[in-house]
Amino acid sequence: MITDNTAATNSAVVRRHYDRAWNAGDLASVEETHAADCVHRDPSNPVPMRGQVDIKARLAAVREAFGDFNLVVNDLIAAGDKVVVQFMVSGTHRAPFAGIPATGRAVKVDGIVIHRLRDGRIVEDFAVRDTLGLMIQLGVIPPPGGPKS
Q: CA angle, corner 13, sides to 9 and 19, nearest 5?
A: 135
The predicted pLDDT at position 47 comes to 83
Indicate the pTM of the whole model: 0.87
The predicted pLDDT at position 44 comes to 86
Are 137 and 108 in contact by the 8 Å Cβ rule? The answer is: yes
The predicted pLDDT at position 145 comes to 81
Alpha carbons 148 and 145: distance in angstroms, whole number: 8
What is the pLDDT tens value at each position of the chain, 149 positions in all? 444 568 899 999 999 999 999 999 999 999 999 999 999 999 988 888 899 999 999 999 999 999 899 999 999 999 999 999 999 999 999 999 989 999 999 999 999 999 999 999 999 999 999 999 999 999 999 988 866 55
The predicted pLDDT at position 98 comes to 86
| Domains along the sequence of the chain with CATH | 7-137 (3.10.450.50)
The DSSP annotation for the chain comes to: ------HHHHHHHHHHIIIIIIIT--GGGHHHHEEEEEEEEETTEEEEEEHHHHHHHHHHHHHHHSTT-EEEEEEEEEETTEEEEEEEEEEE--S-BTTBPP---EEEEEEEEEEEEETTEEEEEEEEE-HHHHHHHTTSSPPTTS---
The predicted pLDDT at position 109 comes to 96
